[in-house]
Amino acid sequence: MRDSHAPLELDGLTKRYGDVMALDGLTFSVSAGSLHGFVGPNGAGKTTAMRIVLGVLGADAGEVRWRGAPADENDRRRFGYMPEERGLYPKMRVREQLAYLARLHGRDSASAHEAADRWVRRLGLAERGDEVVESLSLGNQQRVQLGAALVHDPELLVLDEPFSGLDPMGVDVLAEVLAERARAGVPVVFSSHQLELVERLCDEVSIVAGGRLVATGPLSRLRAAAGPPLRRLRVEGAADGWAGAVAGVRVVERRGDELLVELGDGADEDALVDAARAAGSLRHLSEERRTLTELFRDAVAPA
């Protein structure tokens, strides 16, 4: 499973809080230049895993590797992080705050101020740059928070629920910025409960439950692995049960004239079309992709 070329690798991360096993040997990797969605039910260990990647927390076992070697302090200084609990100095001015954070990440004074200016403009906060953070609207505070994760041009971005609490415009700005960073070759990992959004934005997804990895990889591969291909068709004037008689075909869902069927082993799409036309009038036939939501449900609750 492990891709030896992946810049970020989480390998067997284990973390226990008292009796609670927060992470139980979590392993996955994030490719360069990919937007990687990190999904799982509440309490699956997403935040714990991200904190360990950033070194805010130590793992009981396992390691985080950056470009093939265990991530150290110097590597982590070049990571960008947005914690689930947003945090800024409420009484510090926006520009000053971003410049300060850039300096903590190792920038010199001049380049820190230059970067702060650039991100303030990029995030549409040019007019708010000299205001203190607490005077900003929540949406604008979120933008500053994103700026805090990006101001030092990180080589890896780790964002915990970055889309929560954003209005649709904010979502667009953030999605655009993340896609742009990914195009620039930066691996971007973010967690989210908004699965449609993850599906729309991400190239890769990892699904965790109970501190373990359930599935990981490019979405297309996850879909293929989830089960046989699906077809949605509408056949008017057909009698019940025609589809089930076709070899290898299983009816998943039926609503009036509309059917959702699985093409199992030995199933032939042409045979399905022939059977449909024999049974009635075929009005619609399309390929149905499994949504991430479905993959997620199947993966997390296999029973």
Partner 1 sequence: MREARLVALREIATRLRQRSLQLSTVLSLVIVVGIAVAAGVVGGGDDRETVAVVGPASAQVGDAARQLDPGVVTRRLDDRAAAEQALRDGDVDAAVLDGREILFERNADDGLAAVLQEASARVRAAQTLRGAGLDPAAVSDALSPPPLAVASLEPEDDGAAELVAFVVVLILFGQLLSYGMAVATGVVEEKTSRIVEVLLATIRPWQLLAGKIVGIGLVGLGQLLLVTVIGGVAALATGSIEVSSDVAVAIGVALAWYVVGYAIYSCLFAVTGALVPRQEDLQSAAAPLTLAITASYFVGFVALQSPDGLLARVAAYVPLSSPLVMAPRIIAGDASTAEVVVSLAIALATIAALVPLAARLYAGSVLQLRTRVSVRRAWRAAATDRAG
Residues within the interface to partner 1 (CB under 8 A): 51-52, 54-60, 73, 76-77, 79, 81, 83, 85-92, 100-101, 103-105, 148
Q: How far is the CB of 58 from partner 1 (least distance, A)?
A: 4
Question: Which H or E run contains 63?
Answer: strand 61-66
Q: How far is the CB of 108 from partner 1 (least distance, A)?
A: 10
Q: What residues have CB less than 8 Å from 253, skipping those under 6 apart?
A: 259, 260
Of the two residues 52 and 222, which places its CB atom closer to partner 1 in the complex? 52
Of the two residues 40 and 83, which places its CB atom closer to partner 1 in the complex? 83
What is d(CA 282, CA 285) in angstroms, rounded to the nearest whole number? 8
- Cα Rg, the chain, nearest whole Å: 24
Of the two residues 113 and 254, which places its CB atom closer to partner 1 in the complex? 113
| C-alpha dist (Å) from residue 94 to 19, 140, 260 | 42, 10, 53
Q: How far is the CB of 35 from partner 1 (least distance, A)?
A: 20
CA pseudo-torsion sign 192, 116, 177, 136? positive
Q: How far is the CB of 183 from partner 1 (least distance, A)?
A: 24
Of the two residues 97 and 233, which places its CB atom closer to partner 1 in the complex? 97
Question: Which H or E run contains 201?
Answer: helix 195-201
Question: Which H or E run contains 255?
Answer: strand 249-255
In the block, which residue shows the tokens 């930066």? 186
Phi-psi region of 154 (alpha: psi -120 to 50; beta: other; left: phi over 0): beta
Backbone angles phi, psi at 212, to 5 degrees: -120, 155
Q: What residues have CB less than 8 Å from 176, skipping those under 6 apart?
A: none
Q: How far is the CB of 138 from partner 1 (least distance, A)?
A: 14
Of the two residues 134 and 274, which places its CB atom closer to partner 1 in the complex? 134
Q: How far is the CB of 60 from partner 1 (least distance, A)?
A: 7
Of the two residues 73 and 127, which places its CB atom closer to partner 1 in the complex? 73
Of the two residues 157 and 207, which places its CB atom closer to partner 1 in the complex? 157
State the number of CA atoms in the 13 A half-sphere of 214 facing the CB: 22
Q: How far is the CB of 91 from partner 1 (least distance, A)?
A: 8
